[in-house]
Structure formats: structure tokens, C-alpha cells
Structure 1
Amino acid sequence: MPAPERIPPVGVSDPLRELLTDGELTVRGQIREASNAVLLCEVSLDGRTASCVYKPVAGERPLWDFPDGNLARREVAAYEVSEALGWGLVPLTVLREGPYGEGMCQLWIEAGEEDAGLLALVEAEEPQEGWKAIGFAEVEEDRTALLVHRDDPRLRRLAVLDAVINNADRKGGHLLPAPDGRLYGIDHGVTFHTDDKLRTLLWGWAGSPLPEEATEALRGLDEALEGPLAERLAPLLTPDEVTALRARVRSLLTTGTHPEPSGQWPAIPWPPV
């Protein structure tokens, strides 16, 4: 599969951003399988409408290892970093007031096929060509299978983004293939911790050299963190979290490789899907 095109960042004057930020939110339903309050909404402004997801801060469950800030602000920060990388991996996400107070509001992406064949369990010791091994999983008592993901440039970009934002929860259900062939990542509340918290299904490139496009994107991100991006992140993250973010970007540039599991805790989130 050829490398996906570079997606230009969405400017602050973009009409869609204006709609999502300033439009009237009307709650249409609740996504009940989520661990925090996730509300499906319609946003409308001057005759324009769009579907979106609204996650109010008031509906967040406290987490012992994420005491600073809140999950909604981290979701917005993940979007900002994705845009600075130029890859458009996270749907448009803003921080705003809503019916239940401050929260993150994210453009709804109509999903294509549930996982688009990105993940699989196989009865094998090694992955086939075009696949990358994640690890062995117990599927029945006394029986295991190899969990694999596609060797897909879109997933590889997400693996780089997750390393940058220190994503502690990249599950299969957080991969959102769109009908147009683009792949989005969602649910970025547990990110940007100052300690190494990377837990992901996308370990297939661990220890491998970063592709040239990733190195170029990381250089651009490093520069952006010394300019306007730092200003946009300041109200979303703590100063220590921004400092740790810069350190992760520079570490990736220095090593030139995808990170490997630390071995200090489970490297794969549970449940994985």
C-alpha cells in the first residue's frame, strides 16, 4: 500500500472548526459502552449542522495515575499534536462549553468496516508477509494464538503519534477506518503522562528504524513545540507534561527507531480490542 498523503493542518478560521466550537450542541444519545460519559450530539450554526461526540469533564471517572488536568484537555492536545505532525490522524477536536459544562467536542467520523482487516488472531508462530506480530494471546484454556496487525503505513503513523503523546490505551476499538480510506485514532484521554505509559497494540515496528517521513514530521513537530503549538498546549497540559512531550520527540529523533516495551508493566492494554 502506498504511503497516505500528507494532510494539511486545519486552520483556526476553518468553518468546520467554527461550527464545532461555537455551534449549539443538542444531545441525541449516549454511547453506553464507554467508561466515561460519551454523548452523541448534533451541532448547528447558521444553518450548518454536523454530528459530533461530546465528553463532558463532569462525566469523567478519576484515574489514580492521571492526577493533573483532565481527560478532555488531553484529547484536544492529542488532536493539536496530530495536526502539527501533518498527518490528520485525529478527528477535529475542540474544548468548549456544552449542556453539561466544559468538555471535549470531536467531529463524528462515519466508520467504514469495523476494523478493515487491520487486526487478526492466527494459528501460527510467525506472522505472514504483510503482517506484524503483537504477541501471543490466550483464546481458550491451554490454547494461544498470535495477535497480529497489518504492516500498514497508516498504522505506522499512529504508532509514531502514540509514542509522541505517550498513549496508555491504544486498543483495537480506538482505530476508526473511514469509508474514504483514511484511518483515524480516537479516545486519547490517557495520554501525555510524564512517566513512560505507552500501552498499545501497535508494537509491530518496535526497535525498527523510523521511516523518513516520520523523521521529517518529528522535526517539524520539534520546531512547532518552540512556537505556536506550545501556546496552544499551555492551557491543555501542565508545564511538566509539555517538557516531557518535547523530550519524547527529541528522543525519537536521537534514536531514530520506534520505541520498545519497557518491560516494567504490561505493554498491551486490556482488553486489547
Structure 2
Amino acid sequence: MKEPDLVTAELTLTGRVTTASNATFLGSIDDAVVVYKPIAGEHPLWDFPDGTLAHREVAAYLVSEALGWDVVPQTWLRDGPMGQGMVQLWQDQDPDQTAVDLVDSDDVPEIGWKHVLEGRDEKERLVTLIHEDSLALRRMAVFDVVVNNADRKGDHILAMSGGRRHGVDHGLTFHSEPKLRTILWGWLGDELTADELDGVDRVSAGLQGELGRTLGDLLTAEEIASLAARCAQLRSAARFPAPTGQMPAMPWPLF
């Protein structure tokens, strides 16, 4: 089967994701199923410049590729029925897997999961937010620190077959100020592995070459400089960082 030209072949809309905060559509390019988020459908935010979320999604994919961990599905900019926007290959989740869960506090697994926080549900029952303790999710947590992800909700983590994990919805990334808001705090303070540090080094090196030049079309010079500084700081500390700044450390809602 011939691969479709994902940039120039016709993008046909097949549905809309009505729960998304910005205009988000399902579509197809030949046989490829995609998600399409037009820039024209982005709602203004108080802390991010208008009309930049699609560019940040593509930048997040490029950094994921530089890390070498396949965190973000293939993502690119192109024209569509509602103008230029972000397009991303659709991912089919494994319905029998979950990477993040909210469980009764008496039922927290002892092995294989990280405890994040406790709270009470609408019936005043004590519940605990947990996420799996896996290589794929650790890599996603490192990725979130590097790109300064301000919106890592549970539903932004796709549990795929074979233990693979994809992260999606990366419009709120690359701010020059500390904005990290994530549910992946289970490794707070833990040392980074050699593999994780190597990934950060690959991004730092890439910023001096092709990655830096490509990001220059998607982000501001200040945002790219902040990205480089985060990589250097993470490499120096060699640990998962603690929350900083005045913003909440967790996104809301959690899912």
C-alpha cells in the first residue's frame, strides 16, 4: 500500500471531539486516521500567546523525537478544511490497560505503582491518585520537565499495547516561565538514569543544530533559550525536580 502524502493529500473531516477545550476534529488522509486542531479554533488563554498552541504541539513532537523515546505520536502542521492547524496520527489505546488511576485508598497496589496524592471523592470516601512505575512513563515525566508541560492530565496519557505509552495534547508547553503541572510526580527527587540523562543531552545537542533551527519557526527565541536552560538544569541536578513557582503543581481536572 502506498503511503499517503500527509502534508498535501486531502484531509477529510469525519467527526469532532466535543469534550476538547479547543476545536478538535477527527479526520482521514487516505487510509491514515488523524486528529486535526485548526489554529482558528484555539481559544485565547491568559498566560499563552494567542494562536500558538498548534506550533507548540509540533515542537513537542520534535523534542520527543530528539529524546529518542517515541513519547509523542507523529505531529505536523498543514492546511485543512478550517485553515492551518496541527495534525497528529490517531492512536488506538488498549482498553485492557491503564497507566493512571484513582482508587480507593484501601486498595492501592503495593508493587508497580507510584502514589501521587490522596483526597476525598464526591461521597467523602478517601481515594488515592496513582500512576504506574514504568520505564515508558518515567520517560514521559522527563519529557514533561524538558518541554515545561503545563497540562499533563491522566487522559493525556494513552496506554498502548505492549506497554507503550503515548502523550498527547501538548499545546500548553514551552512557556519561558515555570509552568510544570502534571500528575506524574511519583518519582519526585529520584535520580535520573544514564539513559534519561543521555536523552536530555541529545536535546541539548540538537538545539545547537537542526532541532534549534526547526524550533525557531515554532517558538520564540526566549522560549528556546528557556528550553536549553531547563535541559542544562536537569542535567546538572540529575534528579526529577520538585514543583516551583506560584502555580498549582497539578492540572485540574486531573482527568
Give the TM-score band, short-chain normalised. Answer: over 0.9
Partner of 2:239: 257
After the TM superposition, which residues 17-96 of structure 1 pair with which residues of structure 2 at under 5 Å, given as runs? 19-44=5-30, 49-67=31-49, 70-96=52-78
Contact 2:104 2:126 in 1 (8 A): no
Distance 1:115 1:74, change over 3 A: farther
The one of 94, 105, 115 aligned to 2:87: 105
Q: Say which of 170, 173, 183 aligns to 1:191.
A: 173
Counterparts of 1:231 and 1:87, CA distance in 2: 21
Partner of 1:205: 187
Matches within 5 A, 1:129-168: 129-140=111-122, 142-168=124-150
Task: Answer with 172-181 or 198-207: which moved more.
Answer: 172-181
Of residues 245, 251, 265, the one that matches 2:227 is: 245
For residues 259 and 123 of structure 1, what CA distance do their matches in structure 2 show? 26
SS of alignment partner, residue 20 of structure 1? coil
Contact 1:127 1:133 in 2 (8 A): no
Is residue 13–residue 28 contact of structure 2 (8 Å, CA) maintained in 1? yes
> Within 2, Cα distance between the matches of 1:86 and 1:233?
17
The Cα RMSD (Å) is 2.0
Equivalent residues in 2 for 1:206-245, closer than 5 Å: 206-245=188-227
User: 1:84-123 CA deviation, whole Å, 9 max, x = no partner?
Assistant: 0001110000011111111000011111127525323231
- Write out per-residue CA displacement over residues 217-244 of structure 1, whole angstroms, 9 at most, x where no aligned residue: 1111111111000011011001100000
Any unmatched runs of 5+ in structure 2?
none
Residue type of the alignment partner of 2:60: A
User: Which whole-Å CA distance do the structure 1 matches of 2:72 and 2:251 have between them?
Assistant: 20
- Which residue number in structure 2 is paired with residue 7 of structure 1? none
Q: 2-side partners of 1:211 and 1:122: how far apart? A: 32
The whole-number CA distance in structure 1 between the counterparts of 2:141 and 2:173 is 13
2:140 is paired with a residue of what secondary structure?
helix
Q: Percent identity?
A: 47
* In structure 1, C-alpha distance between the alignment counterparts of 2:160 and 2:9, rounded to whole Å: 24
The alignment's TM-score, normalised by the length of structure 1, stands at: 0.88
> Are residues 64 and 165 of structure 1, via their aligned partners in 2, closer, same or farther at CA, if it must alter by over 3 Å?
same
2-side partners of 1:129 and 1:115: how far apart? 16
Query: What is the SS of the residue equivalent to 2:76?
Result: strand
Relative to structure 1, is the Cα distance of residues 16 and 82 closer, same or farther in structure 2, using a 3 angstrom cutoff?
farther
Q: How many angstroms apart in 1 are the aligned matches of 2:51 and 2:238?
A: 31
Count of residues in correspondence between the two structures: 255
Paired with 1:260 and 1:252, the residues of 2 have a C-alpha distance of: 11
The verdict on how the C-alpha distance between 1:71 and 1:205 changes in structure 2, with shifts beyond 3 A counting, is same
Q: Report the alpha carbon displacement of residue 212 of structure 1 after superposing the two structures with TM.
A: 1.4
1:164-179 superposed matches below 5 A: 164-179=146-161
Preserved contact between residue 69 and residue 237 of structure 1 (Cα < 8 Å): no
How far apart, CA to CA, are the structure 2 residues paired with 1:188 and 1:260? 21
Deviating more after overlay: 108-117 vs 223-232: 108-117
Query: Partners of 1:269 and 1:26 in 2: how far apart?
Result: 33
